[in-house]
Structure 1
Amino acid sequence: MSMEQAMMKEEWLYDFTFVGDPQLSPDGSYVVYVKRVINEEKEYASNLVLVNRATGIQHDFTSGAGKYKDQSPRWSPDGKTLAFVSDRSGKNQIWLISTVGGEARQLTELTNGAVDPIWKPDGSALLVLSKDGVEKEEDARKPLVVNDLHYKADGKGFLDGKHTQVMLVPVTVDSEQVEALTDAPFNHSNPSWSPDGSAIVYVRSRYEEQGSYMRTDLFIQHLKDEGEPEQLNKKGGSFVAPRWSPDGRSLSFIGHFFEHEGATLNKVWTVDLASKKFACITEAVDLECTDALISDMHWGGASPGAMWNKDGSGVYFLASEQGNTGIYYAGVDSTIRQISGGDRHHYAFHYVAHVNEAAVAISDPVNIGDIYTLSFSGDRVEEQCISTSNAEVLQSYPLSKPEMFTYEGEDGLEIQGWLMKPVGFKEDKTYPLVLEIHGGPHMMYGNSFMHEFQLLAAKGYAVLYTNPRGSQGYGQAFVNGCRGDYGGGDYEDLMTGVNAALKTYAFIDEERLLVTGGSYGGFMTNWIVGKTDRFKAAVTQRSISNWQSFYGVSDIGYFFTKWEVGSDLDENPEKLWHHSPLKYVDQIETPLLILHSENDLRCPIEQGEQLYVALKHRRKKTMFVRFPDSDHNLSRSGLPELRVERLKHLAGWFDTHLGESE
């Protein structure tokens, strides 16, 4: 394969269209969704697409795809107006556009912008989210004064003391009155109106408080009552996406009480607002009730939560199981069943109870993602695809369809994995194998499109990816299985997976094994090369090398190390060092490429720096690539040109070191 052909494949990314956040109109006759592209300037841009379900005709409803970012469309209760977020005025603000045509008009001009519009039931106003405080001129010479434990966040940088508040915005043309409904010094999100419009519920993040790591509380606020908002979860926990029942007497929401700290399964809950009694309606199933499936290609929009049916007898929600994310139904009587599934990734979902239909975004390993409608009738679901976003593009590129297999771990635990054959596979040839390790660790690989995997398969590599213990999708005991034992049973699961693949697929060349992963997968890549020399080359991405320093430099280190590794710096620093790949650097002989983002605050770049210097000082084969203007999410939502550069370095390192071994 020529270098020109190889470079073309990394740049597939520029040709793809990404669709998400589908919204069904109140009467079910239209769907609007967001279409995102990479424009000629190699920047993301997006616009709204409107689909007439009766005719199948769809057209670009706003013109942002070439220049602006139009997103978060939301139908007015009468279906005549769409509210959406756009940066066309310079920063994100709320805009309105009539669904029968005409130009969009800007509704908000808030100093700190506005996002997440939610219509009042009578259509007279919107709830939006906006930061409080005033803009200040930045002075690069002015010191940053820090008093809080939580003072930085990946993707946001250093926190500026501003907090996201819930605002009430009338939609009348002549009204400029905006009312702040919250003012507490915490971030607020997920607002929702009561059916009669007299009250709202929202989520308040409390992790700014010492010891309240990742805590999110539910509050109800009665708009005509000057009293304090009422907190529902007095016993703590982490709860999101509250939804009112049709009669206004109950709420549904997603979350847990940290029974297993950060590895606790999310469940679907309801609360009776009269008695304040909580009920977990998915307690009977060992199911993660969110989308935990990883992809580097698409996005879904805000979490839909658990959406009530018309008579309030149950809710619909997304859940992750056995490498798939589907739509499930849970009755208030705890009856649970899957509604829409298959070997697919349902990554966005909007349900309209009045018509008992939904709009959904779905991906699979050979389809990036498209919009579907679902019509429910008892246990039957009628599905219709209403977009073909990448059909023509994907016909031009060779793709590999993964094969699922299971294998038994060293202690008898069943592990699920997938093997992608190289594009153009021939029975009489042998091929190198790349082991891909996911991050989290409490996420999962599965039946979703992965550009990185397809790229490697197109370059002649077999690709193996598995869900070792610690992954989501296999129950509470499984997801909890790696905590306190990083590099133990999870490492054995991965190595046993490689052995199982070698035994099952005779075409894999055992002398040409490669490994890569990001975040937790980067930690595990570092760990693997410190424990075995069986891999010819490795690429570690946004990794962890030293848990002792991670404790103090990561935006989550001060609680994540205790939750996951089983200790913190004060309690047992030796345990942190025992699980640190840097401890075993003398044993690393595998050529190791280190990819890291300059602005990564989740796994800060000093983690890569320590490993690089230790390796280079020992004259080991290594190289360090630092990506500017990028955070922990470079591979998924980073600048398009840098995403392409990352893939070039990844594949180039493997190509080079396989060439050296031949």
Structure 2
Amino acid sequence: MRAADLGLLTSVSTPTVHPGGSRAVVSVTHPSLEADAAVGQLWSIPLSGHAAPRRITRGFRDTAPRFSPDGRLIAFLRAAPKAAPQLYVVDAAGGEPVQVTDRTLGVSEFAWAPDGRSLAFVSREPEQGRYGTVEGIDPNAEPARRIDTLKYQANGLGYITDRRAHVFLVSVPDVWAEPAVAPAPLADGSTGVKPGVPDARQLTTGEWDDGGIAFSPDGATLAFVSERHATRDTDLRSNVFLVPVDGSREPVDATGEHGSFSVVAVQYGLNGVLYVSAQDVGETGRDFVARNTALYAIDRAGSAPRILTDPETVDLTESDIVAYGDDAVLVRDRRRGALVLTRVSSSGTIERLTDEATVVSGVATAGEVIVASIADATTAGDVALVTDAGLTRLTDFSRDLRAAGVIAPRELTVSGRDGYPVHGWVVVPEGEGPHPVLLDIHGGPFAAYSPALFDEAQVYAAAGYAVLLCNPRGSAGYGQEHGRVIRQRMGTVDLDDVLAFLDGAIAEVPGLDGERVGVMGGSYGGYLTAWTIAHDHRFAAAIVERGYLDPEAFVGTSDIGSFFSDEYTGTDPERMRAQSPQAVVGQVTTPTLVLHSSADLRCPLGQAERYYTALKRNGVEAELVIFPGEDHELSRSGRPRHRRERFDIILDWWARHLPSGSNRV
């Protein structure tokens, strides 16, 4: 895969399965260099027989499909170019979609009521006079913001206190009725009522965000996640609330009195049990570092949650909850880089349904039928049927990408400097070598590389580089102790582990040139790259991208600055400086490319600017690249042309400082 092949990188949404179990529907999207945006439509996937998958909508970007409970309709989100996504419904047999919402800031999620007559959805409610609510008032002409909270921005969104997310309920329009038409004006100049979308009823209000919605099986109650407690501005707690759909009373907290939870997801089982996944954030409500997400069950209204999974060995942080059978749910457990599909019964019995070579990105059911969206070494996204015999793949959306060139990674575990096992993968380019080596460090830090197809590793390998991807201590998927060991000890054993993996891979994998190595990483990976080149000078060059580089300056500037540095590096100034790349930048001699985005609120641009300036003042060869309009997610979901340009800039840097046989000036 090369940078120009970015448009072949196809993603598949969480599936929805027809109640009869005959077919699934997914959204299939890809970055379009022509449109300079992500585009895609809905596809129907037969679950039996020999019929081929087919496209069933033709919108610019159609996502998040969901069959109605009776299977007659499909609801989904549709976004036009440069517009927020709105909720639509369409006849499941085919036809013209009917618009359900026309929200100024769009719709982020929705759920079908069990009777299929209404839909609940989540949307941000803009403050009057802002965000286009008044024609002619652009952002620079809006009134001043008066802020009295610590949490007032979010990366990828911006200000949040003047556009809170709330829950709404709307009736499902009749997609088979005669379409309404705009009336022609009468002679006296009057007109009739113009056709529009159905009126939605707001179910929640307040100075907080509500989301993560789920209907009870009888349709009378809606569960959602919110931070409504008095200390929400200084802790990370969130709880599950229950509100009657008829609006007869205010929401009731179902979890707050039973523990210190940060809720990830909520869903009702078919038997009425309320399942909740949550992290225990401790007495302070801020102890989030490497806290795995566990599954809980609330058997009846008012009862305390029962824990069903061990947070030391099971981590559901990247999982939703899907009802399955009368007394179980399906979840996805982070394990050694994979997301493993797992069945958990209401009594806590656990059954693994997929292996650790597959990343299950979404799942849906109909009766005993289980359909999953997956990624692995050969696909960026496909649909598979889950059976007792394993996975039966139903699609091949990465066919063209494989034809362009995909290299399977080699799994590797090396012994660390203290004997600790360091797990990861090596992507080796074609040809005998020896190949220059890139040590690529992931972000997080409580995240992980996976065995699935990774576009960055493929692009660098296609350019002639052996790419090393490992999950050092601090990463997710290897237990809480593995992740928590770097708490207020950043740059210690995590540094040892990535260097041990580098040394071990060079020793064990044929074709790697141990004398010609580079290092790179983004976010926490940018942190550890900057820390590494201050302490190890073997590298020909480095790339520090969207880095967490100055823990002290992070406080008060990042959207997570009110808690992240406090927990990861501590609050003692000397301890913080002892873990700060900015404090040791004077030790760096390695040529360094600093990449950042102008609208990054997670690791603000000032982190890069201060670090780059210090490099230049110290006489280090350095370059700063700033992408306009992009945020912290540039490499994953930024504008396609910027993503391609980013690859071009990175490869140009390596061509100048670490040339390969096929990538040189």
Whether TM exceeds 0.5 here: the answer is: yes
| Aligned CA distance change for structure 1 residues 22 and 658 (closer, same or farther; 3 Å) | same
Pair 1:433 & 2:437 matched:
yes
Partner residue, 2:55: 60
Pair 1:266 & 2:293 matched:
yes
Selected match of 1:347 from 357, 361, 376 = 361
Q: Which moved more, 1:226-235 or 1:640-649?
A: 226-235
Pair 1:566 & 2:570 matched:
yes
SS of aligned partner of 1:263: coil
Q: Which amino acid aligns with 2:406?
A: L
SS of aligned partner of 2:2: helix
Pair 1:609 & 2:598 matched:
no
Q: Which amino acid aligns with 2:72?
A: K
Q: Which moved more, 1:207-216 or 1:529-538?
A: 207-216
Q: Deviations over 1:365-385 (max 9, x none)?
A: 23212111224xxxx255322
Alignment map for 1:134-145 (pairs within 5 Å):
134=128, 135-136=133-134, 137-141=137-141, 142-145=143-146
Q: 1:206·1:212 contact (CA, 8 Å) conserved in 2?
A: no
Partner residue, 2:206: 184
| Alignment TM-score, normalising by the size of structure 2 | 0.90
Alignment map for 1:513-592 (pairs within 5 Å):
513-567=517-571, 572-592=572-592
Count how many residue pairs are aligned between Structure 1 and Structure 2: 624
Deviation of residue 566 (structure 1)? 2.1
Q: Distance in 1 between matches of 2:145 and 2:514?
A: 53
Q: Deviations over 1:495-524 (max 9, x none)?
A: 111111122135322220100000000000
Q: Distance in 1 between matches of 2:228 and 2:493?
A: 34
Q: Which amino acid aligns with 1:164?
A: A
Partner residue, 2:95: 102
Selected match of 2:28 from 29, 32, 35 = 35
Partner residue, 2:335: 321
Q: Distance in 2 between matches of 1:207 and 1:162?
A: 19
Partner residue, 2:516: 512
Pair 1:356 & 2:368 matched:
yes
SS of aligned partner of 2:648: helix
Q: Distance in 2 between matches of 1:609 and 1:110?
A: 38
Structure 1 unaligned blocks of 5 or more: 1-7, 292-302
Q: Which moved more, 1:121-130 or 1:100-109?
A: 100-109
Partner residue, 1:214: 236
SS of aligned partner of 2:658: helix
Q: Which amino acid aligns with 1:190?
A: G
Selected match of 2:264 from 212, 229, 240 = 240
SS of aligned partner of 2:340: strand
Pair 1:304 & 2:331 matched:
no
Q: 1:339·1:381 contact (CA, 8 Å) conserved in 2?
A: no
Q: Distance in 2 between matches of 1:164 and 1:289?
A: 24
SS of aligned partner of 1:460: coil
Q: 1:14·1:42 contact (CA, 8 Å) conserved in 2?
A: no
Deviation of residue 109 (structure 1)? 2.5
| Aligned CA distance change for structure 1 residues 284 and 206 (closer, same or farther; 3 Å) | closer
Deviation of residue 421 (structure 1)? 1.1
Selected match of 1:384 from 377, 392, 399 = 392
Q: Deviations over 1:6-29 (max 9, x none)?
A: xx9211102332222211111111
Q: Distance in 1 between matches of 2:301 and 2:210?
A: 24
Q: 2:526·2:546 contact (CA, 8 Å) conserved in 1?
A: yes
Q: Which amino acid aligns with 1:159?
A: I
Q: Distance in 2 between matches of 1:346 and 1:189?
A: 23
Q: Deviations over 1:428-477 (max 9, x none)?
A: x3221100100000001121111110111111111111110011111111
Pair 1:502 & 2:506 matched:
yes
Deviation of residue 257 (structure 1)? 1.5
Partner residue, 2:650: 650
Q: Distance in 1 between matches of 2:456 and 2:362?
A: 22
SS of aligned partner of 2:146: coil
| Aligned CA distance change for structure 1 residues 381 and 151 (closer, same or farther; 3 Å) | same
Deviation of residue 544 (structure 1)? 1.9
Partner residue, 2:627: 627
Alignment map for 1:84-103 (pairs within 5 Å):
84-88=76-80, 90-103=83-96
Deviation of residue 414 (structure 1)? 1.6
Partner residue, 1:200: 222
Q: 1:93·1:109 contact (CA, 8 Å) conserved in 2?
A: yes
Q: Which amino acid aligns with 1:624?
A: L
Q: Distance in 2 between matches of 1:440 and 1:139?
A: 32
Q: Distance in 1 between matches of 2:541 and 2:526?
A: 14
Q: Distance in 2 between matches of 1:638 and 1:342?
A: 29
Partner residue, 2:45: 51
Q: Distance in 2 between matches of 1:635 and 1:265?
A: 26
Q: 2:549·2:581 contact (CA, 8 Å) conserved in 1?
A: yes
Q: Distance in 2 between matches of 1:211 and 1:541?
A: 29
Q: Distance in 1 between matches of 2:472 and 2:311?
A: 24
Deviation of residue 634 (structure 1)? 0.3
Q: 1:517·1:525 contact (CA, 8 Å) conserved in 2?
A: yes
Q: 1:284·1:334 contact (CA, 8 Å) conserved in 2?
A: no
Deviation of residue 208 (structure 1)? 9.2
SS of aligned partner of 1:416: strand
Deviation of residue 277 (structure 1)? 1.9
Deviation of residue 53 (structure 1)? 2.5
The list of structure 1 runs, each at least 4 consecutive aligned residues, that deviate by more than 4 angstroms after superposition, is 206-212, 659-662
Pair 1:254 & 2:277 matched:
yes
| Aligned CA distance change for structure 1 residues 315 and 21 (closer, same or farther; 3 Å) | closer
Q: Distance in 1 between matches of 2:37 and 2:357?
A: 32
Q: Distance in 2 between matches of 1:272 and 1:577?
A: 48
Q: Which amino acid aligns with 1:468?
A: P
Deviation of residue 118 (structure 1)? 1.0
What percentage of residue pairs aligned between the two structures are identical? Answer: 29
Selected match of 1:289 from 313, 316, 321 = 316
| Aligned CA distance change for structure 1 residues 208 and 109 (closer, same or farther; 3 Å) | farther
Q: 2:8·2:400 contact (CA, 8 Å) conserved in 1?
A: no
Partner residue, 2:193: none
Q: Distance in 2 between matches of 1:412 and 1:402?
A: 24
Selected match of 2:402 from 394, 413, 428 = 394
Structure 2 unaligned blocks of 5 or more: 178-196
SS of aligned partner of 1:612: helix
Q: Which moved more, 1:136-145 or 1:406-415?
A: 136-145
Q: Distance in 1 between matches of 2:245 and 2:116?
A: 16
Q: Which moved more, 1:465-474 or 1:200-209?
A: 200-209
Deviation of residue 608 (structure 1)? 0.6
Q: Distance in 2 between matches of 1:545 and 1:114?
A: 35
Q: Distance in 1 between matches of 2:304 and 2:105?
A: 38
Selected match of 2:63 from 56, 71, 89 = 71
Partner residue, 2:477: 473
SS of aligned partner of 2:525: helix
